[in-house]
């Protein structure tokens, strides 16, 4: 199957109802990090990136394509280590602090003057750790549908999906499994996602581009993130939490703890969005991010 990584943006725009003014300027860049590994990223637009986007576990930088089209500003979307076109770690250890260290190296090269870091799920936890460890790199923080109090029981179906079969006999098979796991998304959007997030092997079978989760929750596949509450509390940057209204991953108790730790934080709920808000409501998310960047004050707000 022929795959053109930069050839699907028109589909994103048409499906989201965005005006199409021709192909955007997008280039792939690699940065060497620890142990000679490479972190890969998509550079959108020209000029200094204003935003850094970090995807969730088992995703890649293309999950942000429609958001990037809607924002229409220079930004960089990073493939986290073990995902997309970035190299895998030999120890298969992808905790938020270890990911943050690699992201910091990539940002120093690609986006040292970014106005904000936006992270979804695992990317959100990574962004929290990044903010605490490298505060000068994160002037503003946007966390999408995750907190350090992530519900381990509710995360089990996600873990089960991303740690599923290692190989699929055909593209149709890997797409069908993805459609079953995401019943609210269009097949066309999921097809694009699979093309970006999987690869065809010489024998015609397919495998995911990410380093699959090894083990179950009881085996420690999802480590305790409790220490990240302290990291979040130490962050001085303005903070916004975006929740998916249909997700359930972030509970009211998590919101209460966030506001206790960060009284000035903003919380926005996107109705009709599941855990992957950037996939379910990308244009609305882009508007929320743009609005957060444009505000000069950090008055607490709930919606």
Which tokens is 159 given?
């873990």
Query: Strand 239-244 relative to strand 51-54: parallel, antiparallel, unpaired?
Result: unpaired
Indicate if 275 belongs to the active site: yes
Q: What is the DSSP letter of 18?
A: P
**What is the residue-wise DSSP string for 139-179?**
SSEEEES--TT--HHHHHHHHHHHTS-S-BSSHHHHHHHHH
Residue 205 burial (CB count, 10 A): 15
One of 55, 62, 83, 275 is an active-site residue; which one? Answer: 275
| Active-site pick, 61, 121, 129, 276 | 121
**93 flagged as catalytic:** no
Element (H, E) at 186: none
- Strand 141-144 versus strand 116-120 pairing type: parallel
Question: Catalytic annotation on 211?
Answer: no
What spatial distance separates the first Cα and last Cα of the chain, rounded to whole Å? 44
Measured CA distances, 282 to 36, 44, 70, 117 (Å): 34, 16, 8, 16
Spot the catalytic one: 79, 87, 102, 145.
145
Q: Which residues are identified as catalytic?
A: 121, 145, 275
């Amino acid at each position: 199957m022929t795959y053109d990584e930069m050839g699907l943006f028109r589909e994103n725009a048409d499906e989201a109802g965005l005006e199409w003014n021709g192909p955007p300027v997008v280039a792939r860049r690699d940065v060497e990090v620890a142990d000679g590994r490479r972190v890969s990223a998509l550079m959108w637009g020209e000029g200094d990136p204003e935003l850094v986007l970090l995807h969730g576990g088992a995703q890649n930088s293309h999950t942000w394509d429609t958001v990037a089209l809607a924002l229409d500003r220079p930004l960089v979307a990073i493939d986290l280590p073990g995902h997309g076109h970035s190299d895998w770690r030999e120890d298969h250890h992808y905790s938020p602090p270890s990911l943050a260290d690699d992201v910091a190296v990539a940002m120093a090269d690609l986006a040292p003057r970014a106005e904000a870091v936006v992270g979804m799920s695992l990317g959100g936890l990574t962004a929290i750790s990044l903010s605490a460890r490298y505060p000068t790199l994160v002037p503003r923080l946007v966390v999408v549908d995750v907190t350090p109090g992530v519900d381990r029981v509710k995360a089990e179906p996600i873990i089960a999906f991303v740690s599923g079969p290692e190989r699929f006999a055909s593209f149709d098979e890997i797409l069908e499994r993805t459609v079953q796991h995401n019943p609210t998304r269009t097949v066309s959007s999921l097809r694009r996602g699979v093309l970006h997030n999987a690869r065809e092997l010489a024998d015609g079978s397919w495998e995911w581009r990410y380093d699959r989760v090894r083990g179950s929750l009881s085996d420690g596949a999802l480590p305790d993130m409790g220490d990240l509450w302290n990291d979040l509390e130490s962050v001085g940057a303005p903070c916004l939490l975006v929740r998916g209204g249909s997700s359930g991953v972030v509970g009211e108790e998590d919101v209460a703890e966030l506001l206790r730790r960060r009284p000035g934080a903003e919380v926005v709920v996107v109705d009709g969005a599941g855990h992957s808000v950037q996939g379910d409501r990308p244009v609305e998310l882009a508007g929320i991010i743009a609005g957060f960047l444009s505000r000069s004050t950090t008055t607490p707000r709930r919606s």
